[in-house]
Structure 1
Amino acid sequence: MRIPQPEILHFDSDETSGYPNSPLPVLIYREVLDLSSADERADAFESMFKQHGWPPAWRYYLYDFDHFHSTAHEALGIFQGQARARLGGPNGRETVLYPGDVLVLPAGVGHACVEADDDFCMVGAYPPGQDPENERGDPAELAAAQARVASVTIPDTAPVGGPLKPMWEQ
């Protein structure tokens, strides 16, 4: 399996909506898996994430409300359907996610589903010891959320393989 170079997206803190986002970039790996069935892709994502130290936690869709996790980085492997997602919180920007793509979200980055196929589904994974809390932006809580985001450890390995720190410590 070839690991493609990721798309790199940066999102500044959004004081208006209270989304901390992150100084670390969002990574979007396109067409990581090219398997014929959704079940094969889901199983392959789970195996890949686990192999690279990101234990799979669930199979589900992307929430349709803006939220973030200040206590965990998150990997999302799209195994079925496609969706238009907003990244960076309510004032962020949109991208389309396709089967076979992997989205790596640093702690604090807002994300939501704007529109999706009825069958859209993903595998979600987190580094060991990182437990996500679903949070919504609150300008009064921004400083506390930013402090939590800054304390989340960067894993050595990306969920698709290869080193993560060089991409996140530029």
Structure 2
Amino acid sequence: MTNVIEPRILHLEEDVEMPNHPSFPVLIYAGVFAQDEAGMDRAFEERFAQNGWRGIWRNGIFGYHHFHPDAHEALGVARGSAEVQLGGESGERLRIEVGDLLVLPAGTGHKRLSASADFLVVGAYPKGQENYTILRSKVPRDVVAQVPRPRTDPFYGNDGPLLRLW
């Protein structure tokens, strides 16, 4: 396996409409794949599947604040770049680009603010959480706190930073 990239850790406070997770931070892995790697969409899909993450899809990120109360989510940037906001209206603005990976704990608000024309994300969920709900208004934080921790890191598997940081 390649060298493990340590993620940036982002703790988000509760927002007016987004619960955000009370204990698990957002994990921001910069450049897990080289920017010039061809077929990055397939590479993310294969890596997620290999590590037991399911419900894999390709698309963008919605242009409105939303969250999943019943699932953690991995978002791998396969093409382009975007500015996103995490945590709701009072949350963090972040630029993500090809090769980056975000791991959002259940309850994390996220929204696309702007994106390049070719922006493409590959998303996935831990096994058993692939039938997720999309909400735009708050649920109690204890609801999202009950979502089980993933058994593996979506990119690094059994030895990934997620298992130590969550």
Question: Counterparts of 2:128 and 2:36 in 1: how far apart (Å)?
Answer: 33
CA contact (8 A) 1:46 1:55 kept: no
- Aligned residue pairs total 160
Give a deviation string over 1:9-64, Cα, whole Å, max 9, x none. Answer: 000112xx2211012100010110115355x1011101111111112521000100
1:158 maps to which residue? 153
Segments of 4+ moved more than 6 angstroms: none
SS for the counterpart of 1:68 is coil
1:95 lines up with 2:90 in the alignment? no
Amino acid at match of 2:151: D
CA contact (8 A) 2:10 2:25 kept: yes
Q: How does 1:34-73 map to 2 (within 5 A)?
A: 34=34, 36=36, 40-73=39-72
Give a deviation string over 1:146-168, Cα, whole Å, max 9, x none. Answer: 23211111012110112423201
Give a deviation string over 1:80-133, Cα, whole Å, max 9, x none. Answer: 000000000121110100100000000000000001001101100001111221
Question: Counterparts of 2:35 and 2:65 in 1: how far apart (Å)?
Answer: 30
CA contact (8 A) 1:56 1:123 kept: no
Percentage identity across paired residues of the two chains: 42
Question: Counterparts of 1:137 and 1:150 in 2: how far apart (Å)?
Answer: 16
Amino acid at match of 2:143: R
Amino acid at match of 2:31: E
| TM-score, structure 2 as length reference | 0.91
TM-align CA RMSD: 1.4
Amino acid at match of 1:108: G
Q: How does 1:123-142 map to 2 (within 5 A)?
A: 123-130=122-129, 131-138=131-138, 142=139
CA contact (8 A) 2:58 2:122 kept: yes
CA contact (8 A) 2:35 2:98 kept: no
Amino acid at match of 1:84: E
